[in-house]
A and B are shown apart, each in its own frame.
Chain A
Amino acid sequence: MDAIDILITVAVVIAGFAVWLLSTAVFIWGERRIVAKMQSRIGPNRLGPFGMLQTVADGAKLFFKEDIRPVGIDPVVYFAAPAVSAIVALLTIAVIPFGGTFTVGEREIALQIWDPEIGMLWILAMSSVAVYGITLGGWSSGSKYSLLGGVRSTAQMISYELALGLGLAAVFVWNGTLQSSEIVAAQSRLLDLGPISVPAWNIVPQLPAFVLFFIAAVAEAERPPFDLPEGEGELVGGFNTEYSGAKFAMFFLAEFMAVITMSAITVTLFLGGPSGPLFGLDGTFAGALLGFVYFAIKVFAFMFVFVWLRGTLPRLKYNRLMDLGWKVLLPVGLVWVLATAAIVVAQDALARTDLLRTVFLVAAVLIAIVLVLPLFDRRRPAEPAADEPGDAPKPDTMTDLRRVVDERTPDRVTVES
């Protein structure tokens, strides 16, 4: 490793962080504009073309605001928590390939900061450390609302980390690797389906894992409808109630970066990352940039879904959130990982015409299903009966409420611009 290698590494690192920070700024603006459109509002439109510079103005405002120091805080932890959040949000992106590979002289340069063998486990590690920023921020503020927000976020993130991990595990088993560059390479092949050929994206064979992972990703990023840790209707502002100025900005940045990171991970795992038709530009800088363009388009599509969810869905009740995580996503994830593993081994056994192994495998899966099924069976008849006393009045209340709201609102809400 000589000086030029180090320079290249530094350049890639700077490029990566610049891309992520810039897209965070764009995303904050884009979310406000899109949600405004969905709610028949206009959104920020004063600063720059289409209000694009609004984020810059807000950032500047936040950083020059008075830094309020509440009375009941735990000083060291209070100052460390936003830093932990922001640092972890930035570190997570390190293993995601954000563009193609190109060759300069004898050096092959990948638009990826770090490509370790443990690959996507790094993301799991960072997302589990990200809990600390929020939890500690909530605890150290010395306020009940903050503490409740912190406690909620801890429980939520631990619960959904399981589903997140199972979604990842299914892809690991399917592609046989943890390394992000290899997962992308496995998906950049083309599958011949008669007249057309389609990219071998994991989203097709791993659709359940994709759904599982994306729901868990929304919950990990603590975005609506899973934004209970900062439910402003219940907890003032949640874990960040007592924060202001630059420290609040760090939490804010971390939250929006989490959306981009989660979108980027989803794209890497299930939609082929930066792969796409390169038109013979393989190995050139233009080809690498083209890969970046593909990556950006896919990631922006998922970021739009995040905004869409926020504009569409109401916040979940806390017990529903936990039910979804533990009673739906976790069993589905376990079963799917088992099924994926069985399919992978069965393919291997069939390829070697190893009949004995295939028979054993099928028998093992059947036994596992027979053993596990009663556990699900017992729950099913009990649930509707149990739901009746508690949940039955709710639909009525909701319909009543809707009727009242419908009666009192004019047919069309018009906004004058």
Chain B
Amino acid sequence: MNVSLIWQSLPFLWTGFLMTLGLAAVSIAGSTVLGLAVAALRTSRPPLLRGLGRAYVELFRGSPIPITLLFVYFGAALYLGYGVNLFVAAAVGLSVYHSAFVAEIIRAGIEAVPVGQHEAAQILGLKPAQSFRWVVLPQTVKIAVPPLVGQYISLIKDTSIASIIGLAEMMKVGQSIVDRTGDPVSIYLTVAVLYFIVCYPLSLWVTRSQRRAI
């Protein structure tokens, strides 16, 4: 363990760390918005829309993330020329991939709200949109938040995959330092600790909330 090397590398790793967090934040937002839309598809009445939602979910849950990411990256590269913004490509790829999982979590949350709630709202005169917004959605959120946070933790870890398209997030920065200095043990363990510091508290929160729910 080369402590002085670690110390010297920290500024670089910090830049990568910020990039990781930034990418995670944008992708979390993106995947949630997309996931909501797909969940709406999945729970809508026309079978065509439901089928579309189902196909979307099956497609992304059945493919590895690198492929989704590479697809977005090369697609953008070919159609926009090589001035592709790596951050945007990574964010789009991660958002699209994780939106499939977010959609399923939200859908399960919606379906967990008893039918009687919607019926009561309907009788009171609330229109379907109002019933969803003021009666179903608040309850869905309460149910869905712990599994959603679990999914976001996965997303934070998956930002590391953006390294394969060259984005300078924490994993890639670590790689570059290792290539330069030839000390994989110190650097990679440090990077591991950095990821752990972010993810572990969130994991604890998820476990605790799910225990409380039971």
Q: Do A and B bind each other?
A: no
The interface of chain A, by Cβ under 8 A from chain B, is: none
The interface of chain B, by Cβ under 8 A from chain A, is: none
